[in-house]
Amino acid sequence: MLGFLTARQAGLDDPLRLRRAESTRRVLSLKLNPDRDVDRIHGNGINTIDIEAIEGRYMLSGGADGVIVIYDLENYSGKPQYTCKAVCTVGRSSQNVHKFSVETVQWYPYDTGMFVSSSFDKTMKVWDTETLKPAEVFEFEGNVYSHHLSPIARKHSLIAVGTKNPKIQLCDLKSGSRIHVLQGHRAEVLSVRWSPRYEHILATASADSKVKVWDVRRASGSLFTLDQHSGDKSKASSEAVNTAHNGRVNGLCFTGDGLYLLTTGTDDRMRLWNSATGENTLVNYGKVCNDSRKRLQFTVSRGCSPEFVFVPCGSSIAVYALHTGELVTMLRGHYNNVDCCEFHPDYQELYSGGKDCNILAWVPALRASDVEEELHCANTAAAGQSSVNPAFQDAWSDED
């Protein structure tokens, strides 16, 4: 650590190098924290979670019971042991609650005053956070598996929606209407993701084993369809082309810089693609257990060197090095299958939800010196008056 600080001070190192090194150390030391609890509200499995990017303070969760919960992740007590409280809930007693399982929840990228949820009740709702009432409701012909708002869009306010219908729907937040459909898939669309690099680029994954990348400004179909053999020319001509996986493709995730796209399928494989060319990088992650019939929510770290992928794998979460495919560790703590996980880039923490109705917090282990410092702070606080700097103490005597 001192070496990094000295090199930074002398101008020998990139200023971000220390930050990346510490972020990487923290991710590699992630463990289940016995001092951090998250209120247990859901009566059924948790399908989806999202942490807002404005303050990094509020987390949404959506469950198979149709319930949506907002949690405050802030620790106000100042003590190491605390519970992330549920601030508000759209519960079963609410007249606006989703009738069936909530599949995706997402904060509006620029403001915590709004969030969007979609469900197997064939609706997508745009909620006012203040009143917990839908400002807009979009209705579809089939179950809604996934939706996504672009995290960077300035020129459009489109929500991409994947449903049981093979056509991808584009809904406009400003007009409150469905303005366009993207045709090309032949089965239900299980996952949709906008690029965090280019606001008009959209990736979609379907049960037809295909992943398509679209420029929504073009009317002539997708830019390209990912082909699992495109990085290995010898197989390209002999086997079925233009399939990303040999099964349903139920997971999509761009890296933070938008240069790469990760996909997961029910063939127990995860693949890393160059998002500009659509080429398979042929990184081998080994067997990645995946038998989900629905969307699988996995996530990638941000600000680390190298970056890591967190993928639900049965009742555990597998952590892989992004570019080498090395299995770094397995995070174990859930009692049943894990369905979703979300990385918190501000604190290098991970939150996961599963069929055991729990949301677990995976927190970086403190260094030995940090532990001693925390104990020292707790002791001085308990000492009361002695914790005040003598320079700020009242030195007047009664006689004066």
Which CATH number is 152's domain given? 2.130.10.10
374 in any annotated domain: no
Per mean pLDDT, which range of 59-68, 338-347, 362-371 is the poorest? 362-371
195 vs 22: which has the higher pLDDT: 195
351 in any annotated domain: no
pLDDT digits (tens, 9 = 90+) for 13-65: 777 777 888 899 999 999 998 889 999 999 999 999 999 999 999 999 999 99
Q: To which H or E segment does residue 36 belong?
A: strand 36-38
Per mean pLDDT, which range of 39-43, 180-184, 232-236, 320-324 is the poorest? 232-236
Helix ranges restricted to H, the chain:
2-9, 15-28, 233-236, 368-382
Give residue 382's pLDDT.
52
Give residue 34's pLDDT.
87
Q: What are the structure tokens assigned to 257, written together? A: 């810089």
356 in any annotated domain: no
Would strands 36-38 and 82-90 be described as parallel, antiparallel, or unpaired? parallel
pLDDT digits (tens, 9 = 90+) for 99-116: 999 999 999 999 999 999
7 in any annotated domain: no
Confidence of residue 214 (pLDDT cuts 50, 70, 90): very high
249 in any annotated domain: yes
Confidence of residue 230 (pLDDT cuts 50, 70, 90): confident
* Listed residue (257, 256, 283) closest to 270, CA to CA: 283
In percent, the amount of the chain with pLDDT more than 90 equals 74
- Provide the domain limits for residue 62: 44-295
* pLDDT for 310 beyond 60: yes
In this prediction, residues 240-250 reach a mean pLDDT of 87
In percent, the amount of the chain with pLDDT more than 70 equals 86
Confidence of residue 8 (pLDDT cuts 50, 70, 90): low
Give residue 122's pLDDT.
96
* pLDDT for 240 beyond 60: no
Give Rg (Cα) of the chain. Answer: 23
306 in any annotated domain: no
In this prediction, residues 216-228 reach a mean pLDDT of 89
13 in any annotated domain: no
Q: Under DSSP, is residue 359 helix (H, G, I), strand (E, B) or coil?
A: strand
Instruction: Determine if the peptide bond prior to 306 is cis (ω within 30°).
Output: yes
362 in any annotated domain: no
Give residue 231's pLDDT.
67
Please check whether residue 190 is in contact with residue 209, taking contact to mean a CB–CB distance below 8 angstroms.
no
In this prediction, residues 150-172 reach a mean pLDDT of 95
Confidence of residue 379 (pLDDT cuts 50, 70, 90): low
Confidence of residue 371 (pLDDT cuts 50, 70, 90): low
What average pLDDT does the chain have?
88
As for how many domains the chain has, the answer is 1
In this prediction, residues 291-298 reach a mean pLDDT of 90
In this prediction, residues 396-400 reach a mean pLDDT of 42
Taking phi over 0 as left and psi of -120 to 50 as alpha, with beta for the rest, 303 belongs to left
Confidence of residue 1 (pLDDT cuts 50, 70, 90): low
